[in-house]
Amino acid sequence: MKKRKFGLALSLVLAAGTVLGACGKSDDNKGSSGEDKSDSFSVAMVTDVGGVDDKSFNQSAWEGLQAFGKANGLDKGNGIDYLQSQSDSDYSTNLNSLVRQKYNLVYGIGFMMEGAVEEIAKQQTDAHFAIVDAVVDQPNVASITFKEQEAGFLAGVAAGKATKTNKIGFIGGVESEVITRFEAGFEAGVKESNPDASIDSQYAGAFDKPEVGKTIASKMYSSDVDVIFHASGGTGAGLFTEARELKEKDPSRAIWAIGVDSDQVSEGVVGDHNVVLTSALKGVSAAVQDISTKAKEGNFPGGETSVYGLAEDGVGLAAINDEVENKADIEAAVKEWTDKIKNGEYTVPDTVQ
């Protein structure tokens, strides 16, 4: 498979007020207008089990499709749509359903859909697919990957500079190459910015279990950890809940959570405070727009892998919280390391050392 790098602009602030409708895995998601999708370009996606409203990865992808739709006069049920997977057994069924509905491009969102996308792509050779966070070596599949380690590294730099206890946590979802890249980059960033800090890394084993995320976060915070970064999809909602509750009990306590994929600052509001230090950004939304636009213009990159990193403006770090005492110091360190990574002076490890 050929590999290409594409540039794109990250949106650092999510559009406010986006309404995400719930959707099942049945054929009743056909365009409400009854439009024959063969007459105009149409795109749809299948979520993984995290769901379209996970305030993270799947939601970013859907926002990308919505932005593509807005630019092309399409909306939900009329040119763009999604099917939500309740379990991994839904993946192949949902992909096939969208192909039968004649969508011109069908996305599988998340590495957990790699097997299903490969299976259906081999069966439906005339259909076009794209997969986010995995590589499927088929001529009718466009693969999208990111250098998560670079976003994780910048989050680690921020965490290392923000911690007062020198105890930092990482919560992963399902162990995989993608989440390991986040973890590896984060640990490297912490070590480079604060060699005295220690890191407690734990995995929830799921992307849709906020109660597990909350339990892990509670144990970490109770052991004097004061900054936790999650790369766990919907499971991370539990981290934010725990951090907000602790801040509400003791507003003077310096306690931080770091978001992932999109800017999750809205998850940190506690009265006049906000517990989200920053977020490691992944341009899933912009990548989905990019590949959809190429496909619409007749330039579908089938059989190719599009890789998005810092140099391509495909990953990054959200704004640093104004409440952190050494905000200027953190911002300066983040900029310094961003420049080093972009110019090739420093290569972020993609495996845990």
Residues 154 and 84 placed together within one structural domain of the fold: no
Number of domains, the chain: 2
pLDDT of amino acid 55? 79
Residue 82 lies in a domain: yes
Cβ count within 10 A of residue 301: 20
Residues 197 and 277 placed together within one structural domain of the fold: yes
Q: Which domain holds residue 197?
A: 148-282+322-342
pLDDT of amino acid 7? 52
Residues 69 and 156 placed together within one structural domain of the fold: no
Name the burial class of residue 103, with classes exposed (0-12), middle (13-18) and buried (19+) by CB atoms within 10 angstroms of its CB. Answer: buried
CATH number for the domain that contains residue 179:
3.40.50.2300
Residue 241 lies in a domain: yes
**Residue 262 token pair:** 């999109």
Residue 350 lies in a domain: no
pLDDT of amino acid 182? 98
d(CA 98, CA 26): 10
CA distances, 188 to each of 67, 137, 259, 324 (Å):
34, 31, 18, 22
pLDDT of amino acid 1? 59
Residues 260 and 206 placed together within one structural domain of the fold: yes
Residue 106 lies in a domain: yes
Three-state SS string over 173-240 comes to CCCCHHHHHHHHHHHHHHHHHCCCCEEEEEECCCCCCHHHHHHHHHHHHHCCCCEEEEECHHHHHHHH
Residue 219 lies in a domain: yes
Residues 113 and 29 placed together within one structural domain of the fold: yes
Residues 196 and 326 placed together within one structural domain of the fold: yes
Q: Is residue 60 within 8 Å of 285, Cβ to Cβ?
A: yes
Strand order in the sheet with 2-5: 2-5, 304-308, 141-146, 129-132, 105-109, 43-46, 79-83, 75-76
Name the burial class of residue 116, with classes exposed (0-12), middle (13-18) and buried (19+) by CB atoms within 10 angstroms of its CB. Answer: buried
Residues 272 and 298 placed together within one structural domain of the fold: no
Helix (H, G, I), strand (E, B) or coil at 302: coil
**Residue 85 token pair:** 């997977």
Residues 338 and 201 placed together within one structural domain of the fold: yes
Q: Is residue 50 within 8 Å of 111, Cβ to Cβ?
A: no
Residue 11 lies in a domain: yes
First to last CA, the chain: 28
pLDDT of amino acid 23? 36
pLDDT of amino acid 68? 97
pLDDT per residue as tens, the chain (353 positions): 555 555 554 443 333 333 333 333 333 334 333 344 445 899 999 999 888 988 788 999 999 999 999 999 999 999 999 999 999 999 999 999 999 999 999 999 999 999 999 999 999 999 999 999 999 999 999 999 999 999 999 999 999 999 999 999 999 999 999 999 999 999 999 999 999 999 999 999 999 999 999 999 999 999 999 999 999 999 999 999 999 999 999 999 999 999 999 999 999 999 999 999 999 999 999 999 999 999 999 999 999 999 999 998 899 999 999 999 999 999 999 999 999 999 999 999 999 98
Q: What is the pTM of this model?
A: 0.84
User: Vertex 69, ends 64 and 70: CA angle to 5°?
Assistant: 100
Residues 70 and 219 placed together within one structural domain of the fold: no
Residues 189 and 335 placed together within one structural domain of the fold: yes
Cβ count within 10 A of residue 244: 21
Helix (H, G, I), strand (E, B) or coil at 116: helix
d(CA 137, CA 2): 9
Residue 222 lies in a domain: yes
Residue 9 lies in a domain: yes
Residues 111 and 171 placed together within one structural domain of the fold: no
Residues 265 and 157 placed together within one structural domain of the fold: yes
pLDDT of amino acid 51? 87
Cβ count within 10 A of residue 16: 6
